[in-house]
Structure formats: C-alpha cells, structure tokens
Chains A and B, each alone.
Chain A
Amino acid sequence: MNRRLFSAFAALALLFAGSATAVAQDKSIVVASTTSTQDSGLFDYLLPLFKTKTGIDVKVIAQGTGQALDTARRGDADVVFVHAKAQEEKFLSEGFGVKRYDVMYNDFVLIGPKSDPAGVKGTKDITAAFEAIRAKQAPFVSRGDKSGTHSAELKLWKEAGIDIDAAKGEWYRDIGQGMGAALNTAGAMNAYVLSDRGTWLSFKNRGDLEVVVEGDKRLFNQYGVMLVNPEKFSTVKADLGQSFIDYLVSEDGQKAISEYKIDGQQLFFPNAARDPS
C-alpha cells in the first residue's frame, strides 16, 4: 500500500516537472496588463523577442486596467502596462508607481450591427453617435468593469452631455466583463459596443457586427507602462521590471511593436517619448 502511495506521488511530481518548466526559472517578472494587449496577440509576438534578448520570462496577468492597477497596488505584480491615463496618474500620485512611460497608442472604434438601428454609420463624430444611440434607445453593451475601455466610454458619454447613470435604461447593458465577452454579447444582441481596435481586429466571432464609427480624435487610446514602486513592496523585481520597460520604449521595442500586424493591418503605433511623464 505504501509503495503504491509513493508511486502515485512520484507520478504527480513527474507531471508537475513536465508541465511547469517555468517554475525553476527565477528570471521572471509578473506584468499586470490589459485584456486588449493579450487578446490582440501583441504579447505572443513581443514577449519571445524580449526573452531572446534578455532571457527574462514575462508572466502576463491580463485584466481590465482598473483591476490590473489594483493587482499592482497589492504588490502582486512588478510592472503594469495599461491604458487609462487618469487612473495611471492616480496610481502614481498614491506612490504605487515609480514613473509612467508612454509606449504606444491605437484607437477605439464604435462597433455596431450592420442594420445600424441608430443610423450612425459613417459619421466621424463619436459624441453625435452616442447621442443618437441614446435617443433611439438602441441596445448598447458597456464593459462596466473599470477597464481602460470602460473609462473611455464613460468619458465619451460625459462629452456628449449625457449623464449615463440617469439615462441608462433597458437599452444600456452593463455586463462587467472583458472586451471579448462584451463583443460576444453585442454580437448576440445586435448591440453597439465601444472596443479597442486591436481586440476587434483579432476577434473571430463577429457575426453581424462591423465598425460603424472610427477616426474621431477623441477615440485616441494611449498605453502606458510603470514599474511598481519597490519602496512600497520589497518583493518587486525592480531591475528585471525596468529592463522590460526599457525594452518597450527602446528603438528595438518600438520597432517590434510597429511591425505587429494582423491581416496586414498595424494594431499599435509606438510613441514612446524620451522622457517619462
């Protein structure tokens, strides 16, 4: 009996040894990032390049921006790579981050059903489109998860002069989930939804959805990266984390970002400044 028990545990140990090769490597960092950078496939492309160059393993936790910042606030990440400047600056002013670096941008697009019940297709004025959706009470899916995209959506309602908390009705579906789930939901309900372009381009279950509004300056979507303050958490791997940040804003990293494409379309546009904000 004991021998059988022993061999059972030995088999388990083997399973682990085979599966989790990354465990033994201590040259690794945890990056709290957003679903958009993961779902768009950017990390699958970028991280192997970084690993070849530096030997550092990057473990990505893909969450909404708000949640990613909270993960870092608890000391559970070394670096945050997100897209909601106001939330990032709050994070910095609370002393959780060291410096914020601009890395790249892309844009948000308004996705909607081909039938376009709010009649917004073709306009470049995003706030006019939001007003039309609300006036027609056309179904709209909101992330509702404090993500960067959710922050951007709330800002746009405000700029359209609409108090969304007062205006929301059955047409406004706050789902509290990630970008992909929001797109799936919008597809199933023939609803409008604000999405980052990267996730939309890599999204496979489009159904009757298409881009209805794009190109408004207010749809600009800036990504930034910050090292979690090692003075707050001594466990932060400051050197390894900083080398990841340095790579992202370096000429090599910026070039790699610009070269990532899906179906010939560039997803992210590098715009790192030499000096961090």
Chain B
Amino acid sequence: MSGSLGAWEMIVSGDATLYAIVRLSLAVSLSAVAIAVLIGLPLGAVLALTRFRARTALIVLLNGFMGLPPVVVGLTVFLLLSRSGPLGVFGILFTPLAMVIAQALLVVPIIASLSRQTIEDLWHEYRDELTAMNVGPVGRMSTLLWDSRFSLLTALLAAFGRAAAEVGTVMIVGGNIDGFTRTMTTTIALETSKGNLPLAMGLGIILIALIVAINAAAWGIRVWSEQRAG
C-alpha cells in the first residue's frame, strides 16, 4: 500500500526520474508507431488493392506476425545491432533508437494487417464509383486511405498499445540502462525483481492510465473530426 502511495506521490510531486521514464516510453513507442505507419499503411493498401501471386501467403504471414513473440523480435534485433552483428558498426545497441527499431518491427504487421482489412472492405464499397470515374491506382489508394482514416485510427491505437506495453524486446535491445533506456515496463520488471511489489504495481497503474488516456484522446479527436467532416 505504501508503495502505490509512493508511486502516487511521485506523480504529484513531479518526480523528475519518473517523468523522464514516462517521456522516454512515450517517445520510443510513438516513434515506433510513426515508423510502422510509414511502412505498414502503404503495405496494407497495396495488399488490399492489388492482386499478385504471393499475395495470399503474404496476408496470412502478416496476420500471423501480429502475434510475433516480442522476445524473439528483441533477440533478432539484438543480433543484428550487436557489435559482432551485421549492423554493429552503427553502435546503436543499448540506445533508445534500438528500442524504436525493435518496437516498429513488432507493430508493422499489426498496422499492415488491420489496414489491409479496412481498406479492402471500403474498396468493395467504392469499387464501381472509382472505376467509373477512371481513378488511377495511386488515386484510389489515397482516396481509400483518407476515407478510412477513422477506422485506421483503431489500428494505430492497437499498435501503440502493443508497443507501449511490451517489455521483452526493450529489455534485450535497450539494456534497461538507468536514465538512458529505462522505460515504464522495464522499470516495473526491475522493481518487481527487487521485491518492491507495491511500487511496481503503482507504476503499472500509471502505465495503464497513460494508455487509456491516449486512447481517450484519440477517441475524442475522432468524434470531433467526424462531426467536422459531417
């Protein structure tokens, strides 16, 4: 009890360490989602609107990868970024950038899969109209992406939730370095291992509250812009 009170006191008193950890967690997960959007959305749109031989296999693969084990992604990124690995020269293992890369890999399949489904559904609705208007492939893609933006928001939130909540990858590739790569989830794992269970729980509640708050904000934006869009 005293520990969750401790976590609460840290919020109220503006504990600098806690706020730095929260900021880092948000920065890493939001960047990872941003990067995953740049890769996942076009990939989802292409899969939804084009037909090619390996398409079905790719869709099944991406759907399966929505459940990628974080620890395996972490290990893969670790081996790639390690000084002894192929990308070792860049020296980015045990940095926030390594955590962004790992989380982005983790959530690209979520964004690509969910957006493919959304866009494909909308395509069935729009097909005749867009074909009649003789809109080219790029035009179709951008129209569909834009018109499904509110549904795509759900995909982004799912991706963010997964990125912000996971601990396996960031522990391995970030190293949980105090003041540098220590995130909310790795702090919770660390405090648990120190037997500081109430503080760990308190931090867990803060993390959940943050994720809910971000979802609420996104929901608010959606409602507001839907009203504006009419």
CB <8 Å contact, A9 and B34: yes
A-B contacts, CB under 8 A, total: 91
Residues of A within 8 A of B30 (CB): 12, 15
A173 sits at the interface (CB 8 A):
no
A18 sits at the interface (CB 8 A):
yes
Q: Which of A80-88, A97-105, A180-188, A244-252 contacts B (4 or more CB under 8 A)?
A: A180-188
Interface size of A by CB at 8 A reads 37
On whether A16 and B27 interact (CB within 8 A), knowing A39-B193, A74-B83, the answer reads: yes
B211 sits at the interface (CB 8 A):
no
Q: Which of B92-100, B130-138, B202-210 contacts A (4 or more CB under 8 A)?
A: B92-100
**Among B23, B82, B96, B196, contact of A23 (Cβ-Cβ < 8 Å):** B96
On whether A22 and B180 interact (CB within 8 A), knowing A9-B34, A12-B30, the answer reads: yes
Residues of A within 8 A of B193 (CB): 35, 39, 177-181, 184
> Which residue of A has the minimal Cβ distance to B22?
A19
Q: Which B76-126 residues have C-beta < 8 A from chain A?
A: 82-85, 88, 91, 93-96
- The A contact surface, by secondary structure, is helix
A59 and B91 CA atoms in complex are apart in Å by: 14
A259 sits at the interface (CB 8 A):
no
A39 and B177 CA atoms in complex are apart in Å by: 13
A22 and B195 CA atoms in complex are apart in Å by: 28
CB <8 Å contact, A74 and B82: yes
A54 sits at the interface (CB 8 A):
no
CB <8 Å contact, B26 and A20: no
B165 sits at the interface (CB 8 A):
no
Residues of A within 8 A of B84 (CB): 74-76
A205 sits at the interface (CB 8 A):
yes
CB <8 Å contact, A59 and B192: no
Residues of A within 8 A of B27 (CB): 12, 15-16, 18-20
A206 and B180 CA atoms in complex are apart in Å by: 30
Residues of B within 8 A of A183 (CB): 195
| Proximity bits, B177-197, A CB within 8 Å = 1, else 0 | 111100000000000111111
Interface, chain B (partner A; CB < 8 A): 20, 23-24, 26-27, 30-31, 34, 82-85, 88, 91, 93-96, 175-180, 192-197
Interface, chain A (partner B; CB < 8 A): 8-9, 12, 15-16, 18-20, 22-23, 30, 35, 39, 43-44, 59-62, 74-76, 177-181, 183-184, 187, 202-206, 233, 235
